[in-house]
Amino acid sequence: MTTDYLEKQLANWKRFLLVSIGAAGTLLATAIADIPNHPDMYFPGWYAVWFILQLATFTPAVMLLLGSELRKLPLGERLNTIFGYLAVAWIVLIAFGLKLAFATVSWPMLWNFLSVIGIVMGIVYWLLRRKYINAPEATFL
């Protein structure tokens, strides 16, 4: 496959990332809006939407990272899109945590878990960004 084709494919993944960001924001907003209704937290449709959105955001990140076709592009070109999907998956996980927080799981344990995941993702992104994304080349020498 040519590099042009792979770059067009990456551009399509970036467009889908924007759709996923909107869906994750909506899901997070509904989870926050539902907090006052915590005695009645069971809404099976919401959990199905959460599960589908979690798969729809985590799977492309893994495909962009490990997919045999897209590995031909340098990691530096794919890195922002990969971590964009992972960040959206983390936001969707926060929405799930808000939904579960009042039902079964204790708050400190849940937020410690989600915080650790977020911090580890941030550190890994920072380290990979320093390693794989080159400094801008000097135009005028």
- The per-residue pLDDT for 34 is 67
**What percent of the chain clears pLDDT 90, i.e. is strictly above it?**
7
Residues 61, 86 contacting (CB under 8 angstroms):
yes
Residue 137 in any domain: the answer is: no
Residue 102 in any domain: the answer is: yes
> pLDDT below 70 — which residues of the chain?
1, 34-45, 101-107, 134-141
Residue 139 in any domain: the answer is: no
Residue 91 in any domain: the answer is: yes
The residues, ordered by sequence, that sit 6+ positions from 134 with a Cβ below 8 Å of its Cβ are: 76
Using CA atoms, how far residue 5 sits from 13, 66, 68, 79, 139, in Å, is 13, 18, 14, 18, 28
Residue 138 in any domain: the answer is: no
- The per-residue pLDDT for 138 is 46
Structural domains counted in the chain: 1
Query: φ, ψ for residue 48 (rounded to 5)?
Result: -65, -45
pLDDT tens for each residue of 67-103: 878 888 888 888 888 899 999 999 888 888 877 766 6
Domain range enclosing 53:
3-132
Residue 141 in any domain: the answer is: no
Residue 140 in any domain: the answer is: no
